[in-house]
């Protein structure tokens, strides 16, 4: 869930200090769905979300997820 109502960018990577990969997303009714491809199995990823239309806005906190084994 997100409070963003406009296009946003999801920054992600395998190191909390290096989230250089980016995918664009558009929230619909508070739900944000972004497809991330090329992820490595059994790997922890970190990500944050930033409003694409207002680059000066604050970003979200940093979150993480782990991909499953193949």
**pTM, 2 dp:** 0.82
Q: 3-class SS at 34? A: coil
Task: Identify the pLDDT of residue 4.
Answer: 54
Tokens 């250089």 found at? 20
Residues in the chain: 70
Query: Please, are residues 45 and 66 in contact by the beta-carbon 8 Å criterion?
Result: yes
Which pair of structure tokens corresponds to residue 18? 């290096």
Each residue's pLDDT tens digit, 5-60 = 678 899 999 999 999 999 998 777 777 888 899 999 999 999 999 888 877 787 88
Taking only Cα atoms into account, the Rg of the chain, rounded to an integer number of angstroms, comes to 12
Backbone angles phi, psi at 2, to 5 degrees: -145, 155
* pLDDT grade for 1, boundaries at 50, 70 and 90: low
């Amino acid at each position: 869930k997100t409070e963003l109502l406009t296009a946003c960018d999801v920054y992600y990577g395998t190191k909390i200090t290096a989230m250089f990969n980016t995918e664009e997303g558009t929230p619909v009714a508070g739900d944000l769905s972004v497809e991330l491809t090329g992820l490595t199995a059994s790997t922890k990823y970190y990500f944050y979300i930033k409003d694409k239309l207002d680059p000066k806005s604050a970003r979200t906190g940093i979150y993480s997820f782990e991909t499953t084994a193949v």
